[in-house]
Chain A
Amino acid sequence: MARIAAPGESGAKMNYRSRYDHWIGGEFVPPVRGQYFENPTPVTGQTFCEIARGTAEDVEAALDAAHAAAPAWGRTSAGDRANILNRIADRMEQNLEALAAAESWENGKPIRESTAADIPLAIDHFRYFAGAIRAQEGSLSEIDEDTVAYHFHEPLGVVAQIIPWNFPILMATWKLAPALAAGNAVVIKPAEQTPASIHFWMSLVADLLPPGVVNIVNGFGVEAGKPLASSARVAKVAFTGETTTGRLIMQYASENIRPVTLELGGKSPNIFFDDVSSARDDFLDKALEGFTMFALNQGEVCTCPSRALIQEGHYSEFLDAAVERTRAIVQGHPFDTDTMIGAQASNDQLEKILSYLDIGQQEGAKILIGGSRADLGGELAGGYYVEPTIFEGSNSMRIFQEEIFGPVVSVTPFSTFDDAVRIANDTLYGLGAGVWTRDTATAYRAGRAIQAGRVWTNCYHAYPAHAAFGGYKGSGIGRENHKMMLDHYQQTKNLLVSYSPKKLGFF
């Protein structure tokens, strides 16, 4: 076990400033109303910096800066923009450990996860969209011998982005990279639970971006997010969060006839067919890891495989092994390199998870392991830790229907293929799903039958750029992580050109 120095400790890879203002027009700008709020680390519950409490006036200032920057940025060549994105990626790579520390300290996730997943994925994401925009082409349609329709991609202008707290830097990157590649200026509001790490990111890359192209406004949803999302001065709103706020953002957007993209979570089924256990081999080991993925990022993932459907033939055997695999999860200080599960991101998140542990038991679900808050003692006593928990119950229970956003999986058996698909689809959401089987035909049929935007097949929780990610049903609108996201940040300009000197003859 190696304990890496956390921010504030000697030898730390990075340290936060004691206060962050907004980042507007390429510089720190204090909030107009002069108010700040405290930002605690979930690792210990202690405040480590204070953050500008933005309001509508600050949003307007950020929009002013973005509108000033957008025309020139939109006219830069795709090659120039791609070069900047690649330089951002290089700078992030040179500072990978510092960015990982920033993200783990603010969010509570294990350092090994931010080091091996979050930040490398974010780096690759900038490179992917640098490549995608270089490779993107317009099109032309030859209507007739003398008439040609040209289709050009144009940036939308100034876009609003509202970022969740579960992967603060990676989720910001998912939205920033395609928006910038497409030539838009951005006003971004990070979550109030994780408002500082994006400022550390900006401190590393600010010299690479023209002032005003990326503006960061901090604050609470109701005070800063709402004026941003409802502004007639933004050409598009991108949001990751939950259903009620998603609907509200659509309502605001409808007032201005603006497009939105929404990623609103899920209740993802992870299906294990009987043949998974037909041999004791690497594949079975991989499937058990796939089950245990419910604890990745403390379960704070929109696609958390929070419903495990296990076929009857190997139900007991597989579940017993899964419980043992879960027992082996190392919970501890997020800056210990052996730690697999760290702290929940906030106190209210902790309380919500505990409320689900309560109603799950009241509904008659059986706890196979975990089920309580974890007290890790010492400096971590004030942190927000929950034991990885396995419930056994039925799909009508609320713990099977609602996104708990904690390290909690609800397990139920199924009999046949049709039974598995029925249970998998008996949910309001359709973001992710997992299918585990040695039979490729079964895998294919299940993957096509499940109503979800992403079906991991004999894998789970991989998020490579170049694989489209987004929801069916209540899980949202739009696809991220793929070049098709460029379309969500671009207008189509059609020039319909006649090369004929002859009149039509109507007048």
Chain B
Amino acid sequence: MSGTPAVSRVAVTAAAEEVLRRLYAVNGPLMFHQSGGCCDGSSPMCYIEGEFRTGASDVLMASLPIAEVPEPVTFWMSKDQFERWRHTHLTVDVVPGRGGGFSLEAPEGVRFLIRSRLLTPEETKALDSSE
């Protein structure tokens, strides 16, 4: 692994890592795209890497190292949404749940969920200077 940055915009809880390991075993490399809007919006959607085509309107917020998963799990958000979220740090967690878009974990009876906190001024400075 080539140097996890000391400061990151996105983290993953141990419980979510465990789900990601299971999903990786079945599906191979994974990605997240953070949704917005209705119903299951504001939730992170987990797909097989490349299933969701990202483009110039998206921001790669993090490549998440997961133990026992060779390829980091990329975490994407649309650029305009990122502008409204960029002052917060995101943690991917998982809760018991029932469905949500085409996200991979739903059939397991769990749902990925974002928990947030404000970035500290130091984190903001470090992140802004590295982008």
Q: Residues of A at under 8 Å CB distance from B? A: 37, 40, 53, 164-166, 191-193, 220-223, 225-226, 229, 240-248, 251, 263-266, 300, 302, 346-348, 351-352, 355-356, 358-359, 362-363, 396, 398, 401-405, 428-429, 474-475
Provide 8 A-B residue pairs closer than 8 Å at the C-beta atoms, listed in order of the A residue.
A221-B106, A241-B40, A245-B35, A359-B117, A362-B117, A405-B41, A428-B84, A474-B37
CB distance from A228 to the nearest CB of B (A): 10
Pick the residue among A302, A348, A359, A363 that contacts B38 (CB under 8 A).
Answer: A302
B40 cross-chain contacts in A, Cβ below 8 A: 241-242, 245
Pick the residue among B97, B99, B115 that contacts A191 (CB under 8 A).
Answer: B99
Q: How far is the CA of A352 from the CA of B100 in the complex (A)?
A: 12
CB distance from A266 to the nearest CB of B (A): 7
Pick the residue among A222, A396, A428 that contacts B104 (CB under 8 A).
Answer: A222
The reply to whether B95 and A402 form a contact with Cβ atoms under 8 Å apart is no
What is the chain B residue whose CB lies nearest that of A225? B102
A-facing mask of B87-126, CB < 8 A → 1, else 0?
0100000011111111110110101011111100000000
A-facing mask of B20-42, CB < 8 A → 1, else 0?
00000000000001111111111
A220 cross-chain contacts in B, Cβ below 8 A: 99, 106-107
State how many residues of chain B have any CB contact under 8 Å with chain A. 42
The reply to whether A403 and B98 form a contact with Cβ atoms under 8 Å apart is no
Q: How far is the CA of A455 from the CA of B121 in the complex (A)?
A: 39
| Contact A347-B98, Cβ < 8 Å, known A220-B107, A222-B104 | yes
Flag whether B16 is at the interface (Cβ < 8 A).
Answer: no
Q: Residues of B at under 8 Å CB distance from A? A: 33-43, 45, 47, 51-53, 78, 80-81, 84-85, 88, 95-104, 106-107, 109, 111, 113-118
Total CB contacts across the A-B interface at under 8 A:
163
Q: How far is the CA of A429 from the CA of B113 in the complex (A)?
A: 22
The reply to whether A242 and B37 form a contact with Cβ atoms under 8 Å apart is yes
What is the chain B residue whose CB lies nearest that of A171? B39
The reply to whether A405 and B39 form a contact with Cβ atoms under 8 Å apart is yes
The reply to whether A347 and B97 form a contact with Cβ atoms under 8 Å apart is yes
Q: How far is the CA of A166 from the CA of B41 in the complex (A)?
A: 13
| Contact A166-B117, Cβ < 8 Å, known A223-B107, A244-B52, A348-B98 | no
What is the chain A residue whose CB lies nearest that of B36? A243
B96 cross-chain contacts in A, Cβ below 8 A: 347-348
The reply to whether A358 and B115 form a contact with Cβ atoms under 8 Å apart is yes
Q: How far is the CA of A402 from the CA of B81 in the complex (A)?
A: 9
Max chain A CB contacts within 10 Å: which of B36, B45, B85, B95?
A: B36
Q: How far is the CA of A474 from the CA of B84 in the complex (A)?
A: 14
Q: How far is the CA of A346 from the CA of B41 in the complex (A)?
A: 14
The reply to whether B107 and A242 form a contact with Cβ atoms under 8 Å apart is no
The reply to whether A221 and B116 form a contact with Cβ atoms under 8 Å apart is no
Pick the residue among B34, B80, B106 that contacts A192 (CB under 8 A).
Answer: B106
